[in-house]
Amino acid sequence: MKSVDVSVERESAASGQPAAAPRMRPSLANDIRAALQAEIETGELAPGVPIDERALAARFNVSRTPVREALQHLAARDLIVISPRQGMTVARLSIAKVRSMLEYIGELEALCARFCARRASDTLREALDRALMACQQAAVEGDTSEYARANVVFHDTIYEGSRNECLAEQIRAARRQSARYRVADLRNRSQISRSLQEHFEIARAIQSGDEAKAADAMRRHVPAGTTGFSEFLAAVPRHFFDFGAD
């Protein structure tokens, strides 16, 4: 496990003064917060999982003070929940919240595809072809991990091709928030085959400059519609959701 070092300053022995108390470097709590946030966002720390402050202090080889500060920051970002009775757990979202997030992502991605089609260049068309070939190769080999990586590259190519940095940042941030609920995405050949087919449809619409078709194809690619969301929901463990919030 990764450990986080603590900087300690002590007075010179020659001064005759007692050693100074340990002083944490300012970024210590931020380092811990960033590590835990990444694990929550990727699902390594799943929704509802208990958080043990003492175990974290041992893991990062620090006192409990920076851990407590890091957890408070995560609580402020709604990534963990601190309850007087139940202790600390990774935050769970309601089904309605997850659906609204996916709808939001779908509309942002559709807008991004629209801009990409509007601004398509030869360089972008070639980049999309390369991304498609990588997706196709992974699909043929049945390599789910490689397909997931190729899928990220495909979408990133569209974000870059939109030439709208603000929009791209919003999409990436929203995807990070929803990633821990997309635990069953691209896990079997059927899902990968459908994803690949949709990638080709999106890419060809962009390459031909058809803004409306590109936006519509991308919107259907995100599981926010009635059927798509039902299939998505069925694959997510029920204990990931906060049913009291609906």
| Whether residue 134 sits in one domain with residue 84 | no
Higher-pLDDT residue of 21 and 74 is 74
pLDDT at 3: 46
| Whether residue 149 sits in one domain with residue 104 | yes
Domain of 212, CATH number, reads 1.20.120.530
Domain containing 134: what range?
A: 95-245
- Compute the half-sphere exposure of residue 76: CA atoms within 13 Å on the CB side of its CA: 7
First to last CA, the chain: 37
| Whether residue 76 sits in one domain with residue 139 | no
| Whether residue 135 sits in one domain with residue 19 | no
Q: What average pLDDT is seen over the chain?
A: 87
| Whether residue 79 sits in one domain with residue 194 | no
Residue 1 falls within a domain, yes or no? no
| Whether residue 140 sits in one domain with residue 220 | yes
Over the stretch 183-195, which tens digit does the pLDDT of each residue have?
Answer: 778 778 888 999 9
Q: Check pLDDT > 60 for residue 124.
A: yes
Contacts of 131 (CB under 8 A, 6+ apart): 150, 153, 154, 157, 199, 203
| Whether residue 130 sits in one domain with residue 229 | yes
Over the stretch 160-185, which tens digit does the pLDDT of each residue have?
Answer: 999 999 999 999 999 998 989 987 78
Nearest to 79 by CA among 68, 66, 88, 67: 88
Residue 11 DSSP label: -
Residue 192 falls within a domain, yes or no? yes
